[in-house]
Structure 1
């Protein structure tokens, strides 16, 4: 007997990248040497001192039971200390921190915490596709904010129609940005806080790549902005900063009423995250941060190798300012999906088609800098041997 899916599941956005994964796996199964630059999964292991903290916490029998519903006091205090140390932001551990089952969980849960059916959500385009899932689950309405090269991949609030501003209750932002690699400025965040206050909109800043900034430019936290906690929150994940992608641990910081809403929702969904994982996360946040610095340097070297290598073959693109992604323009005559398919078929190089991140992602492919410098150079060499750019030039 087969049972039918609920309407809720039927109406969720299609997972665009599932088809890409299927194509890649078929190539690998056929014995090809595939260089996968289409993923967003960190390639380095979790630092040893964090693994050791986890091992010690697992051996503690006090952790072998349900932990506190709203997360351990020690992890919330560690998150507050982390924000004070890194960004000069004071946070109340009890009222202004929510422990999350990974950053994605909080991002998807928030619309259900704050919105009613028909409320509008402002979503960046291109942007992280799971924002769309949260909007659909809340039966809200998605209104996109184009991110274009001409505006440094920042939304232009002046072009948002008055009726959309009136309906909007929530806005997602993400800097350093996935997929464009752009960074936000303090001035932009100040403009954002004013816009949010004037229009009664809650800002959700997805700070997943907060530790990855280049050329000496440390990414700016939205909470550093005057008035930011009045109008929103920031979601931080340990997945990228500490290579803890499989550990499913993050936290939300900021406006107390939003934090309470998240905690209330999670009271009904879960008990709490395994205490040993919380102990290891606290250790990561409070311990020596040299591993974070070394990782950022590794990504910057990879970025420099990639950008030089592709420019050498005639594929010009702006170097990303943050995140571990490069946003590469597609040659004339191809859609983003066609070009991504071509690179996989002819060069055994995987890229993510820009259209998978939204309408304004068309014309680009996303490249993840999540393999060695040697493999990045080899990927560029393979693409260069196709002689695409010499024949067609590149759209800008």
Structure 2
């Protein structure tokens, strides 16, 4: 069909699925009306959709509006070199096959056309069977290129989905491993808590007897004016028994599965109150205290006295990690429904091989008699009872950071 006979019903660009067209769209460009109409009719009889024009400008306009699978252009057109039109068509539509038609072929012009992207050339007078065969081979080659391109796109899409699925699988595996580790840790801690409850009960009764009898003996020794070494020995017994009571008080924490009393609590205030009671330990050890407490920290539901106990254990542990002095920074932030607390010291750090054990009850790296190993495990228990999380980051020789996260949602549900 010639463009001269087409209706001007649409001026917008058509979008084609080039690989799946049932019939290819061809463009014939020849200034000889009889030639272009004859060639268009023959090609339409082959089942192709054909547009035919006689000027280069009309050809450029059509190529800019819609995709043509193949263009047949005469090398000699009015006012323009056919090779220039070839270059313009390939520049606008690189996938369009271009074949040149000429009655004055020369080796030089043919080579120029091929170098500019032409698929081949057809000589006038046109050998119709030969032209049909050349056009058919070119379109089949193009179809295979399009099909290969489509398959490559599908393969890339499959690779992207495979990578996404693999990433999701790795995340799920990591999540399950983390959950399994938490379950193992919870079971281990539960066993220790139960042991602590039993030990506390079994020791408390005889210890009460020991302390009571010691007080009686001490009073009697003073009344009878017994030698000083007797009185000193009894006082040592009384002192050590009192220390054991303090340890039992700590252990008794593990026999309670939840914090008993919740109320409105501002973590910043709890930290400041803890420092007012235990801050002197930092001064005594020549430790510089830096507070970076967020003024926008929301109030939450918590047992303030228990949180203070946890904070005190962490501060005391940091102080003991800096025997030659150092710096302790305490930071609070509120983010995504959680209160985040960080205790950062410049102490000796924790060796990597024991870092995972710092929250275990009775685990300590200090010399016998210089620590029970209850402090950080007590902090761990308190934070967990508040529905929070606690972790440690450390580098030997550079310091340790204890991080606590407390959920505001969990605290709200506890209050309600």
Could you say which TM-score interval applies, normalised by the shorter chain? under 0.3
TM-score of the pair, normalised by structure 1: 0.20
Say which one has the larger Rg: 2
TM-score of the pair, normalised by structure 2: 0.20
**Which has a greater percent of helix?**
2
**Which has a greater percent of strand?**
2
